[in-house]
Amino acid sequence: MNGRTAKSKAKQREVRDENENLARLYEQVTFEEVHRQVLHLLPTEPVRVLDIGAGTGRDAAAMSLLGHSVIAVEPAEELRSVGQRAHTGHNIDWVDDALPELRSLGRQNERFQLVMLTAVWMFLNEDQRHNALIRIDELLEDGGRLGMVLRAGPVPAGRVMYTVSAAETVSLVSSRGLRLIHQSQQADALGRDGVVWNNLFFEKP
């Protein structure tokens, strides 16, 4: 094994270990805890839901139990595999894809009444966020809602995250014609120092 191959395998192990740790963290906190301030904004009748960056499927499974049909988009194989094992029997279609393109969803030619992005936006740079929002707007049905949970706080060592404020995000999303219907902030459910979460909900006219 040459040096380049050894480094590649070490990097793969590092990513796998990080994703396995993330999987444990995701499942420590319930859907109701994470989204307690916006539960009243979720559709009460069964709709098509797109959960982008679904992780282990915690939110997708909860929305499935509410009667919704959910497409869970998750590019990390380790997280997707955990979710598929943990939430068998739910009405969830798993998709290996990522923002900003979400190319695979274009082939399905469908739109959604609810699009959720929880702890996703900070992984996209400014250009990617702009392009991602255009794609999300294409996928969101008229009258549909977009829910976003934004992370604010120190970046963990070894991870790449971008600083994204609630004000910047509201301005960007509003520029696409979506109307802000809710904004709030809550402490980190895992108690991480300096980490807070901004809840934003928008509605498409």
- Environment class of 103 (CB within 10 Å of its CB; exposed 0-12, middle 13-18, buried 19+): exposed
Contact (Cβ atoms closer than 8 angstroms) between residue 173 and residue 203: no
**pLDDT tens sequence across 108-153:** 678 999 999 999 999 999 999 999 999 999 999 999 999 999 999 8
The pTM score is 0.86
Q: What are 16-40's pLDDT values in tens digits? A: 555 556 556 666 789 999 999 999 9
Q: Domain extents for the chain?
A: 3-203
CATH topology of domain 3-203: Rossmann fold (3.40.50)
Strand order of the β-sheet with 196-203 is 92-95, 69-73, 48-52, 112-118, 140-152, 196-203, 179-187
Report how far apart, in Å, the C-alpha atoms of 41 and of each of 26, 165, 201 are: 22, 22, 8
Q: What are the beta bridge partners of residue 114? A: 49, 145
Helix axis angle, 77-86 to 3-28, nearest 10°: 40
Average pLDDT of every residue of the chain: 88
Q: Give the Cα separation of 110 and 174 in Å (integer).
A: 23
